[in-house]
Structure 1
Amino acid sequence: MKKLLIVDDSPEIRKQLKWGLGKDYRIFLAASVDEALKLFKQHSPSVVTLDLGLPPDIDGASEGLRCLQEMLQQRPATKIIVLSGNEDHANALAAVSMGAYDYYHKPINLDELKIILSRAFHLAGLEEENQRLQISASQDQSNGYSGIFGQCPQMQQVFAMIKKVASIDVPILILGESGTGKEVVARAIHNRGIRKDGNVIAINCGAIPENLLESELFGHEKGAFTGAQNRVQGKVEYAEGGTLFLDEIGEMAPLLQVKLLRFLQEKVIQRVGGRDDIPVDTRIVAATNIDIQDSIKTGKFREDLYYRIGVITIELPPLRERGEDIELLANIFLRRFGQEFGQKVRGYSTAAISWLRAYDWPGNVRELENKVKRAVVMAETPIIEAYDLGFEEKHPGTDAAESVESLNSRPMSASASALDFSGMTLKEARRQVENILLKQALERAQGNIMKAAEELSVSRPTFYDLLKKHGLHQG
């Protein structure tokens, strides 16, 4: 069972939490800092609930903050949830700025605390898996998957395809939206294949003017055109013995499509201004973000070329369809850029996680990488906030813990935004929106709990807890 350490000087609260949470977690109880640190070292729990008022300073927060600091020094990834009274708001803010995962004001509502704990354990599990993947990659750089991470079913299929086709020397077409990682996949195919000792030569067919692209691809002879003072080899020749990656091949002009088709059929090229056939042995991996079938129908792309380059087709999913991979990648990028820029960042606030899950990611993995890089540079605390990622503005006086207070700060559905929230407290408004989202997800999933939970990017146990909280019982 998942390990939960509860640190509180009140025997009543320890008893309440052990009774209410004992079925879900393996519980360890501590009433003082020394006892808590001893259990923490022995059992390494992923999540801790911590009362700040511990003896001998039960009316202050010095002992609780000391306990928080020592735990995070031992295991920075631990999710520590501070339990405090309303009068301890300033100390709760201080705890979050030191690296606490979240805070919760007493008196304790078990249903609400269970949701916070579920999220904390979920994130801790993702981070542990991220660490495992990174260690595995660092131990075996020759695995050929450098830079590609994913646990969702679609990415597992991509990994299986890479493994299967890498050693088969046929042209491959990679389909996917801009930013999904098409070039990374192309390099993975090369690194695992029989041409791994050769070069990977990449050229973006959509970024080079049509009148220059032919020379870039096939080279030119001296005097072939104004300014051609020397013989120059093209990208195809430079890829001899290796892989030529043709990015955005759907943008290639029709005349060049004919010349590329000839090369694929005969394995020979002619430089611009030349007449000699030059044999070249290279593998073609192409990629495009356009609808290639639609482009064929409209006559923009040759059907015979499509069949030549698309002997094997690999389709990459957009990031918005990859579920928990969003958090996995966000944490990988966080560690990478934290080390690169020397920033001591530990994780994301609950509000930031909500935005990461809810955002549509039109720029896919590339956009996520850029947002996390910006956040690591701009963050003023160890916890990345939604405004660090550029999702919302930071208002004067806003700090880390105040942002945590916006637990479910995510874009509302049309139905939710149409509600009249006047006169409601923030807690009541959140409950209304949560109720609507649950009902809509269940309706779209036709009552399938697993599908509905996946749509809302929560675990199935968390979804059941939410149903119970809102009285939406499923038979």
Structure 2
Amino acid sequence: MAHVLVVDDEPGIREFVAEALADDDHEVAQAASGEAAWALLEREGFDVVLSDLRMPGMDGMALLRRLRERQPDVECIILTAHGDVDTAVEAMRLGAFDYLQKPLGSLAELRLLIRRAAERRALRNFQEAHQGSSDAAPELTFGAPAMQPVVAALRKVAVTDATVLLIGESGTGKEIAARAVHGMSRRKAGPFVAVNCAALAEQLLESELFGHEKGAFTGAHARRRGRIEVAQGGTFFLDEVGELALPLQAKLLRLLQERTFERLGGGPTLRADVRWIAATNRDLPAMIAEGRFREDLFHRLAVFPVVLPPLRDRREDIEPLAERLLAQACANLGRKPLKLDPSARALLRRARWSGNVRELANTLERAAILADGDTLHEGELAIPGLGFTPAPVAAAPAPPAAPVAAGEPGHDGPPRPLQDLERDAIEAALRHFEGNRIRTAEALGIGVRTLYDKIKRYGLGE
């Protein structure tokens, strides 16, 4: 279904065409002049404009020129009388999708042309959304029991348009799960667009999401379509949603409620025909209690929450996943494939993988870079001097001992405040990663923006 604007100063033709397109399941608006059409285009987002060539005031050619200048992504089809064919051909040189001659001989031809124009716009959106990406993605699981209910839940929700909230530690594969939902949905032929809320400053993120009009801010030299607009007809994945600043949370809430938005700097009101998937490694209820996340937004996002288990709880997946990741790393590096010997497999199985799949992938890629032979051994995974020695999984905790009163043997003094423990953990991680804040945030399981806030709070960056 496309959103179509029919422009013609003859009411009979205009209404006939609009009714024919509405019967073909399109959403249709009408305008009796070029000026009225432009007023609608400024307020609403359209996929296709079907305009008469000759009209009083702003004619079809003038409307086309304005569209190409200000809304170049909208497809335009020209309606023309027999004697105006040369002008219609000129319109195509200016960027019109095609033209139709009056009187219309076939409604089937009209409907087919509208569908093709809408498909071209959808294809452009799809190509833009998939630039530099690959449709290939690792499987969600290789048989780990902890993942079976997760996969079952994702399969059930995928066939709906319900909003999904993926919850899990950093590196557990939340984007892979989101892509799997998209691939199992009825929107799979549409684009999959992902935006990481922790990767951009607030103003840049707002422009990335919603797009902007020319002159909306310093440096906005031309109109730019936002990622939500690019995702039309597909799935929009909002990663690290817990890192959104409160003002952007309010705008996202409005978007989810009304399914419409505007680019920065004004312009037409656009529809958000997307399926929403969000992800976070944060405790959003705790953030709500602290006033750092909107409760109403949480309930809009958590229509169908799914918790992804950490890699240490799905050990059956580690070896087959490692083989897949190692093959991918070798292919990316342009080197011959590597095998894992029994000692390396044993090390992979017993490691804790606090950074989950991301840490496993980084470890294997680093080993593939340094490996000389065609087999990886335990010693090539635990690389001295590079800060990686896989920690063994902790044994099951012993039953809690009876409390020891202050002053009695075995009491180590009063417990330290939680913020002191947090400060020490951040300081130790920064030191371990030699000040690399991205790796520190990943290891601690928090967003980069959150880490910056805590470093400032505890005076660790001075």
Shorter chain as denominator, the TM-score bin is 0.5 to 0.7
Q: Per the alignment, in what secondary structure is the counterpart of residue 224 of structure 2?
A: coil
Aligned mate of 1:260, from 252, 261, 264 = 252
Aligned mate of 1:348, from 328, 338, 341 = 341
Aligned twin of 2:120: none
Q: Per the alignment, in what secondary structure is the counterpart of residue 314 of structure 1?
A: strand
Q: Does 1:282 align with 2:274?
A: yes
| C-alpha distance in 2 between matches for 1:259 and 1:279 | 14
Aligned mate of 1:304, from 285, 296, 309 = 296
Q: 1:375 to 1:221 in 2, by over 3 A?
A: same
Q: Is residue 190–residue 235 contact of structure 2 (8 Å, CA) maintained in 1?
A: yes
Report how far residue 233 of structure 1 moved: 1.4
Aligned twin of 2:367: 375
Aligned twin of 2:147: 155
Aligned mate of 2:188, from 188, 196, 218 = 196
Report how far residue 353 of structure 1 moved: 2.8
Q: Per the alignment, in what secondary structure is the counterpart of residue 223 of structure 1?
A: coil
Q: 1:270 to 1:318 in 2, by over 3 A?
A: same
Matches within 5 A, 1:114-129: none
Q: Is residue 174–residue 285 contact of structure 1 (8 Å, CA) maintained in 2?
A: yes
Q: 1:306 to 1:256 in 2, by over 3 A?
A: same
Matches within 5 A, 1:173-192: 173-192=165-184
| C-alpha distance in 1 between matches for 2:301 and 2:191 | 19
Aligned twin of 1:205: 197
Q: Per the alignment, in what secondary structure is the counterpart of residue 169 of structure 1?
A: coil
Q: Per the alignment, in what secondary structure is the counterpart of residue 276 of structure 2?
A: strand
Q: Tell me which moved more, 151-160 or 251-260.
A: 151-160
Q: Does 1:244 align with 2:236?
A: yes
Report how far residue 373 of structure 1 moved: 2.0
Q: Per the alignment, in what secondary structure is the counterpart of residue 179 of structure 1?
A: coil
| C-alpha distance in 2 between matches for 1:391 and 1:364 | 18
Aligned twin of 2:448: none
Q: Is residue 374–residue 388 contact of structure 1 (8 Å, CA) maintained in 2?
A: no
| C-alpha distance in 2 between matches for 1:344 and 1:325 | 20
Residues 350-382 of structure 1: CA distance to partner in whole angstroms, max 9, x if unpaired?
A: 2x2332223221211011112112223322333
Counterpart residue type for residue 216 of structure 2 = A
Q: 1:167 to 1:271 in 2, by over 3 A?
A: same
| C-alpha distance in 2 between matches for 1:443 and 1:375 | 36
| C-alpha distance in 1 between matches for 2:219 and 2:352 | 47
| C-alpha distance in 2 between matches for 1:442 and 1:308 | 38
Q: 1:356 to 1:144 in 2, by over 3 A?
A: closer
Aligned twin of 2:206: 214
Aligned twin of 2:51: none
Q: Is residue 254–residue 302 contact of structure 1 (8 Å, CA) maintained in 2?
A: yes
Q: Per the alignment, in what secondary structure is the counterpart of residue 387 of structure 1?
A: helix
Counterpart residue type for residue 347 of structure 1 = L
Q: Is residue 244–residue 284 contact of structure 1 (8 Å, CA) maintained in 2?
A: yes
Q: Per the alignment, in what secondary structure is the counterpart of residue 270 of structure 1?
A: strand
Q: Is residue 354–residue 410 contact of structure 1 (8 Å, CA) maintained in 2?
A: no
| C-alpha distance in 2 between matches for 1:377 and 1:371 | 10
TM-score for the superposition, normalised by structure 1: 0.51
Aligned twin of 1:10: none
Aligned twin of 2:108: none
Report how far residue 222 of structure 1 moved: 1.6
Report how far residue 334 of structure 1 moved: 3.1
Residues 166-186 of structure 1: CA distance to partner in whole angstroms, max 9, x if unpaired?
A: 111011111111111111111
Counterpart residue type for residue 195 of structure 1 = R
Quote the sequence identity (%). 45
Q: Per the alignment, in what secondary structure is the counterpart of residue 388 of structure 1?
A: helix
TM-score for the superposition, normalised by structure 2: 0.52
Matches within 5 A, 1:158-173: 158-173=150-165
The number of residue pairs the alignment matches comes to: 262
Q: Does 1:230 align with 2:217?
A: no
Report how far residue 263 of structure 1 moved: 0.9
Report how far residue 144 of structure 1 moved: 9.0
| C-alpha distance in 1 between matches for 2:136 and 2:393 | 41
| C-alpha distance in 2 between matches for 1:393 and 1:224 | 49
Aligned twin of 1:273: 265
Aligned twin of 2:314: 322
Aligned twin of 2:434: none
Q: Which ranges of structure 1 fall in alignment gaps of 5 or more residues?
A: 1-142, 395-408, 415-439, 445-475
Matches within 5 A, 1:79-94: none
Aligned twin of 1:102: none
Counterpart residue type for residue 265 of structure 1 = Q
Q: 1:192 to 1:221 in 2, by over 3 A?
A: same
| C-alpha distance in 1 between matches for 2:397 and 2:282 | 33
Q: Tell me which moved more, 270-279 or 169-178.
A: 270-279
Q: Per the alignment, in what secondary structure is the counterpart of residue 166 of structure 2?
A: strand
| C-alpha distance in 1 between matches for 2:397 and 2:301 | 42
| C-alpha distance in 1 between matches for 2:381 and 2:228 | 40
Q: 1:195 to 1:378 in 2, by over 3 A?
A: same
| C-alpha distance in 2 between matches for 1:256 and 1:443 | 45
| C-alpha distance in 2 between matches for 1:410 and 1:144 | 29
